[in-house]
Amino acid sequence: MDFFGDYVQTNTEEDIIAKTLIWTAGIEGSPIPGLKKDCMAPGNRIATDEFNRVVNYDSIFAIGDVAAMISETTPKGHPMVAPVAIQQGKLLAKNLRLLEQNKPMQPFLYKDKGSMATVGKNKAVVEIKKLKLKGLIAWITWMLVHLMSLVGFRNKFITLFHWVRNYFKDDKTMRTIITPFVLSDAKRKRRKQMEDNRKQESR
């Protein structure tokens, strides 16, 4: 599929006339062959108990985005974000050690430390419990939190150096490449491709 300004090119001979194209996508897990169907949750996530153990299995565990720990407090499972996966991974490591020692495992309780997002230079949003920030203050908070989460002084220093340099250079990591577009040429090229494909299929 491709968009050419006033029509949508499909993989068939039927192109769609349209001046607006809205592209949407969703996130859905890929079922693992061999797992029982009754352990699958909505979105093809894997249903787990409070120990991240896959439902109806004793020795299979799932953490992170693929895991759906459905309960009264989390009817749709936990949010698919990195902090959840990190906390689940750390607890699962402890629980596996407890299993080796024939001790009871600890249930998972997610500690929500808030959410942050940067939307451009000097622009961000931060929400930590009841504290809500936006703009420059939120952007600085976002940088400090991410800087402190890096491992090692060297990584922190190098990252801070690149941030400061890019800030004053106003360097954009993403560029837009604009090429001349002639609709009639594009349609002619598309028609020729379809004719060539039809000839190859008839052979």
pLDDT of residue 174: 46
Region of poorest pLDDT, from 58-62, 183-187, 193-197:
183-187
Inter-axis angle of helices 136-149 and 153-169, nearest 10: 150
Question: Which tops the pLDDT comparison, 67 or 12?
Answer: 67
Confidence of residue 177 (pLDDT cuts 50, 70, 90): very low
| pTM summary value | 0.58
**pLDDT above 90: percentage of residues in the chain:** 24
- Whether residue 164 is predicted with pLDDT greater than 80 in this model: the reply is yes
* Tokens coding 127: 């929400």
- What is the 8-class DSSP label of residue 158? H
pLDDT of residue 52: 95
- Whether residue 2 is predicted with pLDDT greater than 80 in this model: the reply is no
Any idea where the domains of the chain sit in the sequence? 33-112
Question: Which tops the pLDDT comparison, 166 or 4?
Answer: 166
Could you count the other beta carbons within 10 Å of the beta carbon of residue 160? 14
* Tokens coding 53: 């153990």
Q: What is the mean pLDDT of the chain?
A: 82
Contact 125, 134 (CB under 8 A): yes
Contact 44, 66 (CB under 8 A): no
Read off the pLDDT of each residue in 25-51 and give the average, rounded to a whole number: 85
Confidence of residue 181 (pLDDT cuts 50, 70, 90): low
